[in-house]
A and B are shown apart, each in its own frame.
Chain A
């Protein structure tokens, strides 16, 4: 059983921010797939934090595509991400990644915003959204601000959200045509599992020449991270065998993995190199 918790159900983003400002320890409930478990496991027999249910706030579940941007509302579910026609056709990496997460029933609940705000170092969407140059939109007492996703994560379970602030969406530029991107993940089970390590790789070609690259990693440090020196190397050298090998080495060097029940730090470091190499080779060949 979960302990009974104080419950708030704000009707607007503004009201949610007011409540969160007044109760900085309150937990935000969106899909609940992490929080409801956490309330049961970590707060058993204790006085739990108040819960602010934002799940039914109007407008935050929308996925909006304009000529220049793609915006995922914070409350968009993983199922919605899988089913959205433009996401499916232009960003199949997002449905591909979402299908790794949970089960159909979990994906009907779990939200994009929750996956970001839960700030698990092993979360699957952050590396992909980092490689898409995403930024998050945050509502708060003094209005709305935008933060590059790369600066949003502060540590395990820690984000840049301040008192009274609520993540309302995540946006990334809609490139035409979309830059090729892949998400490579290592895990033990096909379903209901958490990544041992994950890597998102993207390149932008101009003709045959690689102009830009993105290398974003998950589960190899306290936060998801980009590897700027690997990106710069790929942008200047292209997808040669030597550059791919060097980019994988740079990714391994940037990794700060821990040992835990899923894998040792040494194994994670080795495997992140393998995933980077695998993803870049697939981009080269695909």
Chain B
């Protein structure tokens, strides 16, 4: 039984190699080892979604995952989301991901603590479903709690983002 194990993955398009203890969560690894503090620690039990990141384009709650379990995979955090979109769409930097832009334009954030996770969950939803209904947006965000907004503007922001992404890809 080793104390630390080799971990090799891509984080926001960059290859990362580290020795990581078995008990380290992905969230701890991102925040403390890589200093990517945009992903927030809140409930630490997978219930609130504030720590949501994309792994191979799909949303995961990083607080209840071990860092070693993403070995060989591609992790995107809020810090890398705009670049991910630029790579997908050909948009020129510093273009934000349409979900980020949608949250800005529609007032989808208040205190902001849930926002990074909310944006990542929405971005993951739109990677799987380019034209979600309002109900599908709500279902896509069902694991993300916001205590400020009442969700209406968040759902609108995601719908606006989905529409923009479809236009930009046409």
Contact = CB atoms under 8 A, between A and B. Distances in A.
B44 to A, nearest CB: 6
Interface stretch (B77-85, B104-112, B138-146, B159-167): B138-146
B149 interface: no
A112 to B, nearest CB: 17
B22 A51 contact: yes
Nearest to A41: B45
Contact of B64 (A3, A32, A56): A32
Contact of B22 (A9, A40, A56, A104): A9
Q: Tell which of A5, A190, A192 has the most Cβ of chain B within 10 Å.
A: A192
B39 interface: no
B125 interface: yes
B121 A104 contact: yes
Contact of B59 (A4, A33, A53, A105): A105
Interface in B43-76: 44-47, 49, 52, 55, 58-61, 63-66, 68-69, 71
B23 interface: yes
B6 to A, nearest CB: 11
B46 A36 contact: yes
Given A9-B22, A190-B142, A109 B5 contact: no
Contacts of B21: 4, 7
Interface string B109-122: 00000000000010
Interface in A1-59: 1-9, 29, 32-33, 36-37, 40-41, 51, 53, 55-56
A109 B49 contact: no
Contacts of A3: 23
A53 B143 contact: no
A106 B1 contact: no
Contact of B143 (A36, A56, A192): A192
Contact of A191 (B22, B59, B61, B142): B142
A102 B1 contact: no
A109 B45 contact: no
A114 to B, nearest CB: 12
A158 interface: no
B22 A103 contact: no
Given A37-B64, A192-B142, A5 B49 contact: no
A99 B63 CA distance: 21
A108 interface: yes
Contacts of A41: 45
Nearest to A19: B1
B74 to A, nearest CB: 14
Given A8-B1, A40-B45, A103-B49, A109 B68 contact: no
Contacts of A102: 46, 143
Contacts of B125: 104
B111 to A, nearest CB: 21
B98 interface: no
A219 B10 CA distance: 42
A249 B140 CA distance: 38
Interface string A198-215: 000000000000000000
B143 A105 contact: yes
Contacts of A106: 46, 61, 143
* Shortest beta-carbon contacts, A-B, top 7: A103-B143, A7-B22, A191-B142, A36-B64, A105-B59, A37-B45, A4-B23
20 contacts: A1-B44, A7-B21, A7-B23, A8-B1, A32-B64, A32-B66, A36-B45, A37-B45, A40-B44, A53-B69, A99-B139, A102-B143, A104-B125, A104-B140, A105-B60, A105-B121, A108-B60, A109-B46, A191-B142, A192-B143
Given A4-B23, A103-B142, A105-B59, 10 more contacts: A6-B1, A8-B22, A37-B64, A103-B144, A104-B143, A105-B52, A106-B61, A108-B60, A109-B61, A109-B65
Interface of B: 1, 5, 21-23, 25, 44-47, 49, 52, 55, 58-61, 63-66, 68-69, 71, 121, 124-125, 139-140, 142-144
